[in-house]
Chain A
Amino acid sequence: MSVKAIGTYNFPSKDVRENFPAPLLFIGWEDHLVFSAPIALPLPADTPFGALGAAVLPGTYGSHPDFARIDWAAVEWTKSGKPWKPDPAKSLADNGLQHKDVIRFRTPGLNGLNGSCN
């Protein structure tokens, strides 16, 4: 379906890649609802994927008692909800990540405060 309009209806998307200094990446930490929504970050495409856990995410999630205990090799990732195995040595772009992709990570054994998913 499409918009019904009284004339030509054709407007640009506000969120295309060219409008941002770097591609936008959405990231969610499963079972940790103390962070009430996934986050949005513009990240240069050549950022190594491994830098997420080491340098990017501590700024957001570091305050959670589970964060320091994460074994990044055991983390399970999904992209658009489907299981996904990124290579931490490769860049975000070389891992196939594009503007406005959404990735989530699950940390087995770490399910929030007393296992409450918080």
Chain B
Amino acid sequence: MDTPVIKKKLGLKDRYAAMTRDLAWDTTYQPMEKVFPYDKYEGIKIHDWDKWEDPFRLTMDAYWKYQGEKEKKLYAVIEAFAQNNGQLGVTDARYINALKLFLTGVTPLEYYAYRGFAHAGRQFTGAGARVACQMQSIDELRHYQTETHALSHYNKYFNGLHSPQHMFDRVWYLSVPKSFFEDAYTGGPFEFLTAVSFSFEYVLTNLLFVPFMSGAAHNGDMSTVTFGFSAQSDESRHMTLGIECIKFMLEQDPGNVPIVQGWIDKWFWRGYRLLTIVAMMQDYMLPKRVMSWRESWEMYVEENGEALFKDLARYGIRKPKGWIQACEGKDHISHQAWATFYQYNGAAPFHTWIPKEEEMAWLSEKYPETFDKYYRPRWNHWRDQAAEGKRFYNMTLPMLCTTCQIPMLFTEQGDATKIAYRESDYFGNKYHFCSDHCKEIFDNEPEKYIQSWLPVQQIYQGNCFKPGTDPTAEGFDPLLAVLDYYHMNVGRDNFDFEASEDKKNFAAWNGDSAEGATK
């Protein structure tokens, strides 16, 4: 009889330690500070990296297995959705425009997040932080791919979904998310985590994912809903990394507190400005609405945020500057943003429209103090104009905020009839901002933001034409040349939904006349 062999199996905790921190070592050929220079220059002091609590507690092999299973389920649903012509089951072809916004404005951010976390995952001295960032990096790459795959089906049937990555690097409104992330990942690794893991993922992410995913569910888009479920467990890990990183920095050295507070101030505001497009999507682009932007702001930010910052008060952290202004903005920004896209729809690769009468009634109900007073007159005017065949398009390029890069559409705190203007002088040049907070972000790091690639300025500098374009040629149309550079199919990707191919096709596929589909 053979002697039984006792298999030595490590417990979960030991196994985790062995597969993560035990794989790290202190370098000897080169000093550690030369190998890891990036986590020093921001001024954050870390005395003991072993105090880092690993938020994920996942080893690579478990991670692959777990994600692989999720992937199988997701792709089965995407496949079934395609085979059953799931695109016909959405509420209304207007809904697809929310997906266009997501695919061009959000999906490329996943790719940026992948790059940012890969960088942080190389640069932290502490092995625990490195492993956490590497795992998140892979998550983000996966999200970029699964979102692209989930939405690619729609590209076969609807306009405007064909060149998201190309557009992300060029189209005016996409410079808003692009510059947000470039600002974050050109900071040091600690600022990057404060920006993306904490301010964005922990404080604000519910405002991004819940509206899009429950919007998808309410509007019959099971493909996107399934992606949402597949990403959700990753997102909760990411939120854990965000809060862990903040607490770790605050506990390591009292000198870290003011630096972290400055970053929270900056990144809360930048994240809030970025979410303007989500606000408008929620209030205007979903044929079947879930809840208003105002309601979700109150639920996810005001309530949760109050509790969070109460918890962080013991470290000396207060609510971000701009909190009050952001809370006031809940009554305004969705309306202001949709009105902007409506009038600049010649240059945006998705459709806009005037809200229907019952949708305006919903907006009045959800925004009793502001919609009828400030915003309804605009829509009524544009509706009358459109009925006379004069659908309003603004053909003059707007002034942009140097920091958030959004057109200067935001109004003063306490007066929604006055656009807010702020400016700074830097070495004899003027720079303009939409708010005190965007100005302050510039004033703190002017060397960074003077490099802003502002789409309007770039167009006027002649940098947004395809190579070989001759602007002196007879009959040269600069606007059309810019749209060509964007890879926009003019007349198919842009302009009002009412006259769109998307609307006509969707009605035909469902056996309706185009007129019938809107009734």
Contact = CB atoms under 8 A, between A and B. Distances in A.
Contacts of A34: 378, 381-382, 392
B398 A37 contact: yes
Contacts of A42: 460
Contact of A4 (B43, B399, B460): B43
Given A59-B396, A102-B421, A24 B343 contact: no
Interface string A57-98: 001100100000000000000001100000000000000001
Interface in B438-488: 443-448, 450-454, 456-458, 460-462
Interface stretch (B1-9, B34-42, B88-96, B215-223): B34-42
Interface in B374-403: 374, 377-378, 381-382, 385, 390, 392, 394-400
Interface in A15-42: 15-16, 19-21, 24, 26, 28, 30-31, 33-42
B418 to A, nearest CB: 7
Contact of B419 (A15, A19, A37, A113): A37
Contacts of A81: 421
Interface residues of B, number: 58
B447 A11 contact: yes
Nearest to A35: B394
B378 A13 contact: no
Given A36-B339, A102-B432, A113-B377, A24 B452 contact: no
Contacts of A114: 377
B377 A60 contact: no
Given A36-B409, A38-B408, A63-B392, A9 B447 contact: yes
Chain A facing B: main interface SS: loop
A37 B408 contact: yes
A4 B396 contact: no
B407 interface: yes
Nearest to A27: B399
B394 A60 contact: yes
Contacts of B382: 34
A6 B37 contact: yes
Interface in B314-328: none
A29 B444 CA distance: 30
Given A31-B417, A102-B432, A3 B457 contact: no
- Complex A-B, nearest 3 residue pairs according to Cβ-Cβ distance, in ascending order: A117-B417, A37-B407, A13-B450
25 contacts: A5-B41, A12-B451, A13-B427, A13-B451, A14-B450, A14-B457, A16-B429, A20-B461, A30-B418, A34-B378, A36-B339, A38-B419, A39-B399, A40-B397, A63-B390, A63-B392, A81-B421, A100-B430, A100-B431, A101-B430, A104-B421, A113-B381, A116-B374, A116-B377, A117-B417
